[in-house]
Amino acid sequence: MEVDVRNERGPLWDWDALVLAAGGELDGTPEKDVFGFSLDSREISPGDVFVALKDKRDGHDFVSKAFAAGAAGAIVETQYQRKAGDGPLIRVADTLVALENIGRAARSRLAPEARVVAVTGSSGKTTTKDMLRAAFGRLGVTHAGDKSFNNHWGVPLTLARMPADTRFGVFEIGMSHGGEITPLTKLVRPHVAIVLNVLPAHLGNFVSEEEIADAKGEIFAGLEPDGVAILNQDNLHFERLRTRAQSSASRILTFGDAEGEPDAALIDCGRRARDGMEGQRILAEFPSSDTVTYQIALAGRHIAENSLAALLAVDALGGDVASAAKGLAELPALHGRGERTLLSLSRGNILLIDESYNANPASMAAAITTAGQARSDEHGRLVLVLGDMLELGDKAEELHRGLKEIIDAAKADLVFACGSNMAALYYDLPADMQGQWAATSDGLREPLLETLQAGDIVMVKGSNGSAMVPLVGALKQHHATVADDV
């Protein structure tokens, strides 16, 4: 069989074991080793097995394209008709169930000493997942998901991709409705389960924030015996979550501001910046150690607090916190989640803060506050580009208007906004702060490009459905990049 040099530790799966795990039948003769899985025929790497899921599009329509791109095989439903050029097929009754089965088998084949951490919350899950990956990566072989793979297909896909020699597994689990986390956490079977926060996200799908807290608390249902729950002591729904955790966790650990005396206490987070490319120096205490000082390249107090949760997980599993913390200094901001880029103008630079990946009232407020803190001698106006926050139900207009106080506190100079919900906020602002409102993000492109000037700080944020990502792309395309986030 061919050897894929991208995985020096050898194949991810043996074909016989994979067919058994999927609960299917092999049709064809494998000629390539299995090094991964993909759900998108456009993202196939050599050695990937393509899983033909039925979602917004039927993956069976792209099986042949996957093989043409170098797939080692494909998992398809029994009735799929083989086409010319198709390689080995694993035929199953249901491809999603097969992916779940493979994920379950991947979790079961880990060594007894391996440890798994799962994280959920209304905001900050992906960044915290990456902090967990960076922290545990200093201590042993660590596996974590790509991007925001936190839903009904993303979690089993991340499990399926997990090598058998993984020492630490890190999983992000999300939801938009009640009952969605329970089956995922039971697949993951974490030794540590973290709830970062409960905030008014997806409020349109719930009667109250209390219901959101109950949905987030489902993560504890999958805890292994002697499992640990980690909670944000400063969150409004802490007591509700603690009560939920008590039925499953052998220990409950807390993180938060030092004043409340949590297990992991944030004593101070001091800004460190160079040309607006901001990070933090953090002073904190953990149960197994004295005061620990560490640096992260990401800005914002909310990021500092979430770093406590990541390092508290290390502490809970007996790892060295000081050593793990060194990994956080090397973690860059992700596209759409606080990435900072200097853009060139003829007479100076613009600092672009890209927060374009999704939004809820709490994450929007945190992003605005952090952008306001980026002011320095090198930067002048603060320009906010805001898209609708979606799935907020009857409280949408009220929650959008509620951002005005945060905007005032950040001392924003101009606000560009799009979407019907943001109109409620935009027209409550003083006339001299109104840059432009448009029904869609596309309507902001030209006015924004025409308005920006050297020295501006520009922060872009909105829910995915508001399509703010193209605005970030337009800014980068229009202005040459000076330097990326460090």
Query: What domains, with CATH codes, occur in the chain?
Result: 15-93 (3.40.1390.10), 110-330 (3.40.1190.10), 339-484 (3.90.190.20)
38-56 pLDDT, tens per residue? 999 999 999 999 999 998 8
pLDDT for res 276: 45
User: Is position 121 annotated in a ligand binding site?
Assistant: yes
In degrees and rounded to multiples of 5, residue 259 shows phi and psi of -60, -30
pLDDT for res 202: 60
**b/e map of 180-193 (b: 16 or more CB within 10 Å)?**
bbbbbbebbbbbbb
User: pTM value?
Assistant: 0.81
pLDDT for res 2: 40
User: Is position 166 annotated in a ligand binding site?
Assistant: no
Taking CA atoms, 35 is separated from 105, 156, 161, 233, 357, in Å, by 16, 16, 8, 41, 29
pLDDT for res 201: 63
pLDDT for res 277: 47
Continuous segment of H or E residues that includes residue 45: none
Continuous segment of H or E residues that includes residue 282: strand 277-286
User: Is position 127 annotated in a ligand binding site?
Assistant: yes
User: Is position 300 annotated in a ligand binding site?
Assistant: no
User: Is position 45 annotated in a ligand binding site?
Assistant: no
pLDDT for res 482: 65
Phi-psi category of residue 467: left, alpha or beta, with phi > 0 → left and psi -120 to 50 → alpha: left
249-293 pLDDT, tens per residue? 999 999 999 888 999 999 998 766 444 446 788 999 999 877 999
Q: What is the mean pLDDT of each run of 10 residues along the chain (486 residues)?
A: 54 97 97 96 95 93 96 97 96 98 98 97 90 96 88 94 97 91 97 91 72 94 97 94 96 94 92 58 90 87 92 96 91 79 84 88 88 72 94 88 94 96 95 96 95 92 93 88 50
pLDDT for res 50: 98
Rounded Cα gap, residues 434 and 431, in angstroms: 5
Rounded Cα gap, residues 233 and 119, in angstroms: 16
User: Is position 348 annotated in a ligand binding site?
Assistant: no
pLDDT for res 1: 41
User: Is position 123 annotated in a ligand binding site?
Assistant: yes
pLDDT for res 4: 42
pLDDT for res 484: 45
